Structure 1
Amino acid sequence: MFLLKRSVKRKPDLQWALGDRQFFACGACHILAYAFLGKYPASGFGAVWIKPAAGYTGNHVVATDGDIAFDYHGFSRWRHLLEHTTRKAERLMPGWSCTLVPLPPEALTSEARSKETEGLWLRGPEQYLHDALPHARAFLDRFEPPEGAQGLSSRKYRHGVNQR
């Protein structure tokens, strides 16, 4: 988990200049999830919003099939990613908890469609300094593709272990 100063998130040039992991952890995670779903449509993955309880921060969107997840860490076990996220958030914000909200792919790249989900407000890829979708696709290309017709469940994943 990365936390940015508000001044960085509000300045497009500073946000765009972040390292890839920070960029996709702090405001563009949904674009990365969308790129993943587009590249591997038959993998059995869907987008899930890790929605913090009221009064807390730490929104995050990942692609997951319920066993494996993909986000700025790379591939990891979904259960481990949730435990990791919770542990990091609780260090900074005692009492942190979340709910998991499945999202339709079209909500990931449309501000208007994202607002159809209560409490969600995502920027489209064109709302960054430069189009964030090619950036997400290039980041995704660093990782080995999913194995098998239905995804990744036969592999042992930890954060980023299959990065090229």
Structure 2
Amino acid sequence: MVVTASGVFRRTAVERADQRVSWERGDQAFFSSGACHVLAWTCRDFYPEQEIALAALYLGDFEHPLHVYARWGTWAFDASGWNPEAELLKVNSDFEGRPVREVETITSDLREFCEKHVHRQPHQYWADPTERARAYVGRYDPPWG
């Protein structure tokens, strides 16, 4: 799959206001914008034998992340599947028209991250997206073979 900037799938005002409308988007759109953090945590949990880290992209002076993804070595996993992390950073910078600010490694758990960055926890969605995220992660072959 080709790396696509998360901003391509930004939620509309209706999708932000109505969780069911947001939920009904296709998987790539849903996990690119609105549930990327759930997908990242699910990816890490899906491969407990691997040292998968979680990372957040920031844009400009924004206090909260633009996008969250899983990282393994030089590889990144998000709604575009597994791709070189450098490509993920480039497409997001190009789409936004400016460089993404430093990538931050996330060390908190999902609940703490959501509270700090005003993101929904899985139980706060129209339906819990965890199983949907597990199925999505399972579609992609990991880079370690």
TM range (shorter): 0.7 to 0.9
Instruction: Give runs of ≥4 in structure 1 deviating > 4 Å.
Output: 55-58
**Residue number among 92, 103, 106 corresponding to 1:103 in the alignment:** 106
Matched AA of 2:119: L
What is the identity percentage for the equivalent residue pairs of Structure 1 and Structure 2? 28
- Correspondent of 2:87 among 80, 92, 111: 80
C-alpha distance in structure 2 between counterparts of 1:145 and 1:66, whole Å: 12
Give the structure 2 partner of residue 46 of structure 1: 53
TM-score by length of 1: 0.75
Q: Take 1:42 and 1:57, find their aligned partners in 2: how far apart are those partners? A: 30
Shift of 1:56: 9.3
Q: How far off is 1:58 after superposition? A: 7.1
The one-letter code of the counterpart of 1:147 is W
Q: What TM-score, normalized by structure 2, do the two folds share?
A: 0.84
Aligned residue type for 1:114: F
Whole-angstrom distance in 2 between the partners of 1:6 and 1:75: 29
What is the identity, as a one-letter code, of the residue corresponding to 2:69?
Answer: V
Aligned to 1:126: 123
CA contact (8 A) 1:34 1:105 kept: no
In structure 1, C-alpha distance between the alignment counterparts of 2:143 and 2:130, rounded to whole Å = 20
The amino acid across from 2:85 in the alignment is: W
1:86 is aligned with what amino acid?
S
Q: Deviations over 1:3-31 (max 9, x none)?
A: 22122122111000000000001110010
- RMSD, aligned CA: 2.2
* Aligned counterparts of 1:55 and 1:147: Cα–Cα separation in 2: 34
* Structure 2 residue matching 1:102: 3-state secondary structure: strand
Letter in 2 for 1:122: H
Residue matched to 2:25: 18
Question: CA 1:116–1:128 in 2, change beyond 3 Å: closer, same or farther?
Answer: closer
Contact 1:47–1:64 (8 Å) recurs in 2: yes
Q: Is the 8 A contact 2:58 2:102 kept in 1?
A: yes
